[in-house]
């Protein structure tokens, strides 16, 4: 399925309360979400037929919509039920799910007070975000030109489509130079995150990670912090200046797509995937197993 266009796949997509054939899950070209980025979304993974942290993802989706000033016309329970039923209908066990909500096409302009709010959920088979051979030895990151903006200028706590424009620009620039991804600084010049994943560093047995003051406090990020603390590891959330990367021994990314991915290089700084990174990779892999998910409810 690699390389297959996303508008030409088989199966169904849940859209506005019903399951429709994949090719018919379309929107009009004058949809407000396309022109003005009035859209929010989630990225979720299913393991063995169970969707990891589904309730938390749905809660964040509803919150993101509220931040953008609209209300999704479905309850969390309805969204969760639709997600599980979609997974069953698609006959998927290990998969990626993408809920997305957006303003429709009733009004075209900056103001869209009367536009209908739509919601769709798609699911497809998707392996690790980064190639397996990359993950084992650690991926290489470039330093991004674009920075995460001041939270006074964007709704940084929402997982909103428009906030990812500079992520796409940064990732494309990095890939064009042979890197897997890029590390973005924040508006103050401190370390922020990769283009779609949070970042962690290890020094002297302690884990350091940027405080999420202007970017998403990822669900996987929080999960990994919890796993580290269960191991008795100290996790320090703080501002991290880029030059501090010279003193860190290990580095890894976390995210629904990235899971826990070791990093070997960020610009001029190098790291060696070590014991703490490998331990958290293993702990996360255990945490997402179906038996664990079922027990968590």
Which residues belong to the active site?
159
What is the chain's percent helix, strand, coil content, to nearest 5? 30, 30, 40
Among candidate residues 177, 229, 167, 172, the one with its CA nearest the CA of residue 198: 167
Among candidate residues 26, 220, 1, 224, the one with its CA nearest the CA of residue 92: 1
Q: Strands 181-185 and 117-124: what pairing?
A: unpaired
Q: How far apart are the C-alpha atoms of 168 and 191, rounded to whole Å?
A: 18
- How far is residue 218 CA from its own chain's centroid? 7
Residue 35 CA: distances (Å) to CA of 39, 48, 73, 108, 162: 10, 37, 22, 8, 10
Q: How far apart are the C-alpha atoms of 115 and 122, rounded to whole Å?
A: 22
Task: Map residue 246 onto helix, strand or coil.
Answer: helix
Q: Compute φ and ψ for 135, nearest 5 degrees.
A: -60, -40
Q: Which residues of 124-137 are buried (b: 16+ CB within 10 A; e: fewer)?
A: bebeebbeeebbee
């Amino acid at each position: 399925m690699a390389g297959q266009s996303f508008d030409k796949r088989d199966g169904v997509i849940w859209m506005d309360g019903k399951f429709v054939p994949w090719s018919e899950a379309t929107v009009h070209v004058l949809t407000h979400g396309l022109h003005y980025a009035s859209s929010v979304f989630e990225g979720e993974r299913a393991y063995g037929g169970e969707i990891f942290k589904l309730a938390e993802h749905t809660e964040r989706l509803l919150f993101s919509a509220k931040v953008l000033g609209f209300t999704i016309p479905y309850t969390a329970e309805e969204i969760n039920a639709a997600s599980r039923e979609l997974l069953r209908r698609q006959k998927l066990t290990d998969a990626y799910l993408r809920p997305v909500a957006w303003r429709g096409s009733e009004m075209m302009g900056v103001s869209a007070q009367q536009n209908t709010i739509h919601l769709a959920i798609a699911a497809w088979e998707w392996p690790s975000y980064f190639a397996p051979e990359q993950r084992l030895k650690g991926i290489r990151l470039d330093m991004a030109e674009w920075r995460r903006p001041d939270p006074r200028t964007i709704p940084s706590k929402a997982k909103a489509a428009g906030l990812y424009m500079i992520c796409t620009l940064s990732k494309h620039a990095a890939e064009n130079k042979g890197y897997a991804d890029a590390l973005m600084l924040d508006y103050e010049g401190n370390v922020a995150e990769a283009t779609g994943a949070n970042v962690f560093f290890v020094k002297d047995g302690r884990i350091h990670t940027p405080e999420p003051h202007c970017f998403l406090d990822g669900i996987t990020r929080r999960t990994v912090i919890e796993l580290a603390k269960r191991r008795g590891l100290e996790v320090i959330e703080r501002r991290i200046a880029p030059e501090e990367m010279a003193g860190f021994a290990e580095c890894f990314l976390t995210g629904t797509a990235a899971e826990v991915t070791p990093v070997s290089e960020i610009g001029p700084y190098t790291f060696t995937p070590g014991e703490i990174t490998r331990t958290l990779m293993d702990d996360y892999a255990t945490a997402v197993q179906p038996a664990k998910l079922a027990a968590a409810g």
